Amino acid sequence: MLSLAGGLVFRWSAALAAGIALLGAEQAVRLATGPSHADPWTPLYAAGFLLAAELAWWSMEPRVPSFSDLPVLVNRLAVIILSCAGGAVLAALVVLAAGAPLRGGVGLEVVGVVAAAAALTVVATVARTRVR
């Protein structure tokens, strides 16, 4: 929370990211020390993290004193609300998938690593090629 507050006060993006990451780490520790079954409240936490991150970045966006249209504010709020709702649904799907009766093993672990790497690769590729 301190890192998050520091990021907001000093408008420092890295501190904000660190704050969110530390909150996530705290959640990870709590999960690791808790029961082995998937936490049903995880989609809500995921949406909360995203909401905190969105609001934090919105508050520290570089801006100049300017006249602002009301629709800009409405659009931005709508995007944040939809993102959080969509994120919650996605997290719920992940939690549901995690609860599926699949047997673990090296093969599934490899699939997980490949999926994680592929997800990041997709993001990087889209960031590089989508807009010219």
Partner 1 sequence: MTRAATAKLGAYTALAGLGLLGALVAGRPELVALAAPFAAVLVAGLSLAEKPDLKALFDLDQERQVQGETVAAELELWSRRGHSHLELLLDLPDGLVAETPNPQLISLAGDERRPIDHTIRCERWGAYLVGDLVLRSQDPFGLLVHEWTIERKRPLKIYPHGETLRRLLRPLDTQAFAGNQVPRARGEGIEFADLRPFEPGDRVRRINWRATARRGEPWVTETHPERNSDVVIFLDTFLEARLADESTLDQAVGAAGALARHYLAEKDRVGLVAFGGVLNWLTVSSGLVQLYRVLDSLLDAEIFLSYAWKDIDLLPVRTLPPKALVLAISPLLDERAVRALLDLRARGFDLAVIEISPVPYAAAREGRLDELAWRLWLLRREALRSRYLRLGVPIVEWRAGTPLQAALEEVRRFRRHARTLRV
What are the residues binding partner 1 (CB under 8 A)?
A: 13-14, 16-17, 20-21, 24-25, 27-28, 31-32, 38-39, 42-43, 45-47, 49-50, 53, 57-58, 61, 63-64, 66-69, 71-72, 75-76, 79, 83-84, 86-88, 90-92, 94-95, 97-98, 109, 112-113, 116, 119-120, 122-124, 126-127, 130-132
CB of 44 to partner 1, least distance (A): 10
Shortest separation between residue 90's beta carbon and partner 1, angstroms = 5
How many residues make up the chain in this entry? 132
- Cβ 107 to partner 1 shortest distance, Å: 14
Neighbour count for residue 33 (Cβ, 10 Å): 7
Q: How many CB atoms lie within 10 A of CB 101?
A: 4
53, 16 contact by CB (below 8 A): yes
Going by the DSSP 8-state scheme, the letter that residue 61 receives in this structure is: -
Smallest distance, partner 1 to C-beta of residue 5, A:
16
Nearer to partner 1, 2 or 113 (CB): 113
| Alpha-carbon distances, residue 2 vs 53, 58, 95, 106, 117 (angstroms) | 14, 18, 29, 39, 31
